[in-house]
Amino acid sequence: MLETQHDILWTFLTLLFTVYSFFVFVNVVGHCREHKEVNTPLWGGIFGALFIVNILMTRHMFDLVQHDQMGFISWQVLAIFVILLMWGLFFKSQKIEDQSPPFVRGFFFWVTVSTLLAGYTNWLPQQRSDPPPKGGAAISKDLTVEEYAEMGRIIVFGAKQVAGQKAIGKGQCPLCHTFEPGNNIGRCPNLFGVEERSHTRIKEDRYLNQPIKVGEEDPATHVVKGKPMDIDPAYRRQGGPEMTGEDYIRESVMCPSCYVVKGYGKAGDKVSPMPVIVKPPISLSPVEVNAVIAWLQSKDTPGDFSSVTVPLPSAEDTATAEADAGEGEKKIFVTGTESIEDMVNTLGCPVCHTIPGVPGAAGQLGPLLHEKVNAPKRIKDPRYKGKARNTKEYVRESILNPSAYIVFNDEAGELFPDGLMPQDFKNKLSIDALDKLVDFISQTE
Ligand code: HEC
Ligand code: HEC
């Protein structure tokens, strides 16, 4: 679980606290109405104020991330205790404690609440809609390193993260990469510790000579390996002709095949399956690439930004980037009115698949999608335990439930990694879009 996530439980509780304080407020005012001798403005004022305090606290909770929410909830629990105490005091002072006391009412309230909570958490993973994202990716003139790194984080994960859901932003990195120690999903390196590695990699013999030598040009991207002075000045950098850790990370994402992490490449680790992130479908701008680098350099040391070396964007960069601001989060959903090409690009299939008939879809991490040929073979495989009986059913099943059957990778001599293909396309496609996509992919050969 990432500490930048929003916590469902705390968010839910905080809403309930507000509802509860409103309930008490209404109850007290009701009493005041029935008993003419009670000082209504005084008691109404006190409980009204407590209700408002709870509303403000709830609002604040929505601005916090999980870790801080956990700390803040104790203040709200305290506020609820004050309410209960005041409520008891109200009963005592009005000599009406012969009615069921507040603590008993409180008990029944919280039993109902717990039942609701159980129901809510069951219903939640499919249905939750997030509060509108803050314009977190916007660039301001007086940007700090911390804000720049935060912008990078939003490009990677999107503006809002919800516990239990895989968050994927415009950069699409979490489709393939993991970032926490020990968490791996298969054919892509875990990027924990990449800042540290970036300084040692460039001194390795393997970096100097494989798969191309320093000074040679990568044919796919025309980047000259190990020559940071040659990059477009739009990618602002610090330092002279020597490679730095920052340059290594930038080269990794702009020219993945300049250096291929051992065991993660194709054709004997000569070709990287990672997409060039400055080209479609990802297409990050120079300012965005540097923001992602700033985040990668600082993510392993929360609160400490001393390892960040990328310079902040200049005023002119800011002007060009302003147009893109707020795009950090891209809503991924297709309705079926789009062209096939737009549909697969929005969904990100070309990041992993080569799809015949779709220009630029040259992904290398998943099987080549010629399903007219593949699907009948898969269904006949004794390993196949799915429900499909024909090609269309097989393609539909592969999209909605990729783990139903795991394809064997003949080239690598092992199964493709299970869990690499996103499991949640069912939430990103309308029924029309799914039909259209299945029709198209079933015909590919
Ligand atoms: C389609 C899957 C995929 C996506 C999407 C992807 N990567 Fe990668 N990445 C890989 C693979 C596979 C490698 C290992 C091969 C190589 O070295 O190029 C890699 C390598 C890297 C490395 C070098 C790691 C090291 O230890 O030296 C960095 C840095 C990196 N990726 C950053 C990113 C960032 C940042 C993004 C998002 C903007 C991203 N990647 C998106 C698959 C992906
Ligand atoms: C992050 C990488 C990734 C993305 C994005 C991705 N896939 Fe996959 N896909 C895979 C991998 C890996 C496999 C093989 C493992 C398996 O069978 O689950 C696979 C398998 C498949 C298969 C079965 C192929 C066969 O020959 O049996 C189909 C069909 C498929 N994907 C369609 C799609 C479509 C359509 C999209 C976009 C909506 C998509 N995939 C997005 C990685 C990905």
Burial-class residue 119 by CB neighbours within 10 Å (0-12, 13-18, 19+).
exposed
Best residue among 168, 184, 188 to mutate for probing ligand 1's pocket (most ligand atoms within 8 Å of CB) is 188
Q: Which string of DSSP letters, residue by residue, matches 364-402?
A: -SS----HHHHHHHHHHSTT--S---SHHHHHHHHHH-G
**Which strand (E) or helix (H) includes residue 155?**
helix 145-157
- What's the 441 CA to ligand 1 centre distance in angstroms? 27
> What pLDDT score does 252 carry?
96
Distance CA 347, CA 332 (A): 6
Instruction: For residue 192, give the H/E element and its range.
Output: none
**Residue bearing the CA closest to ligand 2, atom 8:** 421
Would you state the pLDDT for residue 124?
55
Using alpha carbons, select from 346, 340, 314 the residue that is nearest to residue 425.
346
Within a 10 A sphere around the Cβ of 312, how many other Cβ atoms? Answer: 19
Say if ligand 2 is within 6 A of residue 361 CB: no
- Burial of residue 157 (CB within 10 Å: 0-12, 13-18, 19+) is buried
Measured from the CA of 409, which atom of ligand 2 is nearest?
14
DSSP three-state, residue 125: helix
* Backbone torsions φ then ψ of 233, nearest 5 degrees: -60, -15
Cα Rg of the chain (Å, integer): 28
Q: How many Å separate Cα 94 from the centre of its chain? A: 53
pLDDT number for residue 217: 94
Q: Residue type for 334, please?
A: V
Count of residues for the chain? 445
Q: Which of 353, 373, 442, 445 to mutate to test the pocket of ligand 2 (most atoms within 8 A of CB)?
A: 353
Q: Which two tokens stand for residue 381?
A: 């495989």
pLDDT at 132: 42
- Cβ neighbours for 175, distance < 8 A, ≥ 6 positions apart: 168, 348, 351, 352, 422
Confidence (pLDDT) at 331: 66
Q: Looking at the CA of 250, which ligand is closest?
A: 1
Is-contact 135 325, C-beta < 8 A? yes
CA 253 to centroid of ligand 1, rounded, Å: 6
Q: What's the pLDDT score for residue 194?
A: 95
Name every residue whose Cβ is closer than 8 Å to that of residue 209 and which is 6 or more positions away in sequence: none
The tokens of 169 are what?
């932003």
Number of other residues whose CB lies within 10 A of the CB of residue 250? 24
Q: What residues pair up with 354 in beta bridges, in sequence order?
A: 362
Q: How many angstroms separate the alpha carbon of residue 246 from the centre of ligand 1?
A: 15
pLDDT value at residue 129: 44
**Given the CA of residue 425, which atom of ligand 2 is nearest to it?**
38
Residues 347-383 have pLDDT tens digits of 989 989 999 998 888 888 899 999 999 999 999 999 9
Q: Which residues of the chain have pLDDT under 50?
A: 1-3, 125-137, 325-328
Centroid of ligand 1 to alpha carbon of 274 (angstroms): 5
Question: In ligand 2, which atom is closest to the CA atom of 371?
Answer: 26
DSSP secondary structure, 292-305, as one string: HHHHHHHTTSTT--
Q: Residues near ligand 1 with C-beta < 6 Å?
A: 171-173, 175-177, 187-189, 191, 194, 197, 201, 249, 252-253, 256, 259-261, 264-265, 272-275, 277, 292, 351-352, 365
* Chain segment 196-231, per-residue pLDDT in tens: 999 999 999 999 998 999 999 999 899 999 999 999
